[in-house]
Amino acid sequence: MTAKYPSVRRRVPAGLFTLSLALAIAADPAAALETADDTAAADDAAQVEGGSYGGEIIVTARRRSETAQDVPIAISVVDGEQIDNTGSFNVGRLTQLTPTLQFYSSNPRNTAVNIRGIGAPFGLTNDGIEQGVGIYVDDVYYSRVASSTFDFLDVAQIEVLRGPQGTLYGKNTTAGAINITTNQPTFDFEGKAEVSIGNLDFKQAKAAISGPLSDQLAARIAVSSTSRRGTIYNVVTDRYIQSQDNIGIRGQLLWRPADNLDITLAGDWNKQEAVCCGSVFVRTGETQRPLNRQFAALAAAQGYAFPSENPYDRLTDLDANLNAGNEIGGASLRVKWDVGPGTLTSVTAWRYWDWQPENDRDFTGLPIVTRSQNPSQQDQYTQELRYNYTGDRFDFVIGGFYYYQRIDTQGTEGHGPASSRWTINPSNPLSNDPSVLGGLTAINTQYLKNTSAALFGQLSWKITDQLTIQPGVRVNYDKKDGYYRRLVFAGDGSPVTADLTDAVSAARLAVFTPQEYAPSFSDWNFSYDLTATWKAARDLLLYATYAKTFKSGGINQNGVPNGADGDPILAAATVKPESVDHVEAGVKAEYWDRRATFNLSAFRTDIKNFQANVNNGQFGVLRGYLANAGKVRTQGVEFDFSVRPSERFRAYANGAYTDAKYERFVDAPCPPELSGGSASAPNCDISGQRLPGVSKWAFSFGAEANAESSLFGQDGQFYLGYDGSYRSDWSSNPSPSAYTWIEGYSLSNFRAGFRTESGLDIFGWVRNAFDQNYLEQLSVGPGNTGLITGLPGDPRTWGGTIKASF
């Protein structure tokens, strides 16, 4: 039987593509990397059109059409079919397919997305700094990393670009970028629908429809909904937590008044209402506190014990309200005009984010911290304008970017009747009086105004047919103005002020200290990069890149330490810019009649004034603030291999070795085993130790085999697919601790099904097939008591999916 399946004509937008996954995608032969002409590649969408299986991939990673193997950038691409087939429906799940991507989240706001071990400080999020990894959807920059916790909505493809960016894109990012491209409106009527069900009451539905409204106007609308029971059972509330409850809708209108002009208006709305977020007991470790102030003694004094000491029993007893209400939406207007010898592109966008959290900050079933919530509201406005030109010997892109963000946050933190006995030294008689700290409340008010503007450009000079030199520059201005105020009230409503000196007030001020300050930061910086490309043979490319760039400085928005006089230390209110030096070299090769691809890259990134998160050990003194480490270095080697000997089989293997460490950090926060004692050092030297959140070794691998057949009179393919991943151990604390290393683990996902030529696909799937026990994150409990809690990863899940397209 002759194969008749359409290929995917890949139109990779501004961006990000790694030969690795793009040529190695092992998900669905009807959706992997295929032929495209230059006209198709210039667009920003992926379409299913006729064509031969295999062939070259045309990308516009440098704002012009070229084959993927000619792009001197390390990029990873996952297309929409791969996302659906592997269940990678958000950024967190995408890490199983992209070894150099790290994702850590204790709740949507406190989420970090890193590449090669760098990007955002590990720990609690601080609104006063920028992300090192930019997230873009259809050319629109998403400033809040909370967006990465939502379901992908009608996605055509996702590209993960490794290394500093800025000379081609709107917002400057020093670690890389995640570029998400959605399916665009079409002038041919088409649609698709997908329904999945599984264990843990998993239900997911997706649908999209697109078509013409007139000869010049086309529309597309897509919806998505995901729900799942939580994976941790709360014995106090008799309900599961860590649930999924996502819904989203996206609509687009494309107006094409002339062949050389496209105007796209898009809008989206996404909401989460999960019962989230909590943790389970993992272990305790000895700290420098007196024994009667460590966790075992404090818990015994109140007759308390966790419901289980085995984290994989997935039991908790958190007694405070939990909520992770998360809403994100916005609108954008994109204009693409082929004018003169090039293309002018304008992207205007507005986005908002509303965050309504409730947490249990003592991590136990005792009423110590009974209320912890910091609701936040954000508005952002962006404008990008760029012009790109392609010629025989010279290509260039020049652009400008403007960004404004306003964030308002209102926090409430309150202590309960068990706090006095837990928090105050047992030798102090006040520890036996629940009213001393019971009802103690801190009201936090803060805002941030963030303005950024930039001019950027990149030139490609083809010196010969084999040698190309590509310089790029960026001039950036950033300004941040903030405000922070904390008011403290006793349980009877009376204010607790810093001038009170009685014993009761002193005990209260040791927990919550009133504070007010208005930090401000502004700075210019100049970035540049240079890439040399040598086309040694038709299927062999060598490249080398040097980049000098900066990550904007910032301000501390969650409070700063007080000095001996009781006033805020204003020197800690601002954070210096990171200075980044980056070198990279790579080889991209195809062989066996282009049925196999092997790419190799090596990199080193040195960062001065690295922005590191500092967590204070007390309940409410600080939720965490930022400081500059002396120097950080990350270096490593990455490879991407794929083979497709025929239409019946394909396989891939991608890997990364990443050596990321503090080269110099002499005043870092101490790990818990060195904290809490009266004689403990206020800071520790962790120079030479590994950065948090990054594994030295990470791999993804998989294969798919298929056989042509028929079922119920329908011609099609039976197929069997496998996707696996492995990550070695990593540190889950900003300062490496013996108590917070997460052991390495491997995950395996299988799928098997039947798909037809008419667009019907039915398959079953098993994820974490061998029910591997693993932890996604460990957290140090407050108060230096030695408590360590964690988030266990998903257990084995299974289910089925039906997809149809027309």
pLDDT tens column, 164-221: 887 887 788 889 888 888 999 999 999 999 999 999 999 999 999 999 999 999 999 9
Position with higher pLDDT, 349 vs 171 = 349
pLDDT digits (tens, 9 = 90+) for 108-146: 888 888 999 998 877 666 788 888 888 899 999 998 888
User: Which of 59-63, 113-117, 573-577, 766-770 is modeled with the greatest confidence?
Assistant: 766-770
> What confidence score (pLDDT) does residue 58 get?
54
Considering only 159-163, 191-195, 336-340, 768-772, which range has the smallest mean pLDDT? 159-163
First to last CA, the chain: 23
Nearest Cα to Cα of residue 208 among 228, 226, 187, 184: 184
> What confidence score (pLDDT) does residue 51 get?
22
Please state, in angstroms and rounded to a whole number, the distance separating the CA atoms of residues 270 and 264: 20
Q: Is residue 805 packed enough to be buried (19+ CB in 10 Å), middle (13-18) or exposed (0-12)?
A: middle
Structure pTM?
0.88
Indicate if the pLDDT at residue 572 is higher than 80: yes
Domain ranges for the chain: 7-805
Query: Is residue 3 very low, low, confident or very high in pLDDT (cuts 50, 70, 90)?
Result: very low
Indicate if the pLDDT at residue 32 is higher than 60: no
Contact between residue 406 and residue 449 where contact means Cβ atoms under 8 Å apart = yes
pLDDT digits (tens, 9 = 90+) for 639-682: 999 899 999 999 999 999 999 999 999 988 899 999 988 777 87
Indicate if the pLDDT at residue 585 is higher than 90: yes
- What's the whole-number mean pLDDT along residues 473-489? 96
Query: Is residue 63 very low, low, confident or very high in pLDDT (cuts 50, 70, 90)?
Result: low
Q: 């290394």: which residue's tokens? A: 163
Tokens of 475: 């001039």
Contact between residue 141 and residue 130 where contact means Cβ atoms under 8 Å apart = no
> Which percentage of the chain shows pLDDT scores above 90?
68
Indicate if the pLDDT at residue 761 is higher than 90: yes
pLDDT digits (tens, 9 = 90+) for 375-395: 999 999 999 999 999 888 999
Kindly give the pairing relationship between strand 554-555 and strand 574-575.
antiparallel
Query: Is residue 231 very low, low, confident or very high in pLDDT (cuts 50, 70, 90)?
Result: very high
> What confidence score (pLDDT) does residue 570 get?
85
| Sign of CA pseudo-dihedral 558, 560, 562, 566 | negative
> What confidence score (pLDDT) does residue 27 get?
34
Query: Is residue 751 very low, low, confident or very high in pLDDT (cuts 50, 70, 90)?
Result: very high
Mean pLDDT, the chain, rounded, equals 87
> What confidence score (pLDDT) does residue 62 get?
61
Indicate if the pLDDT at residue 492 is higher than 70: yes
**Which helix (DSSP H) or strand (DSSP E) does residue 541 occupy?**
strand 540-551
Please state, in angstroms and rounded to a whole number, the distance separating the CA atoms of residues 547 and 549: 6
DSSP letters of 714-729?
EEEEEEEEEEEEEE--
CATH architecture of 7-805: Beta Barrel (2.40)
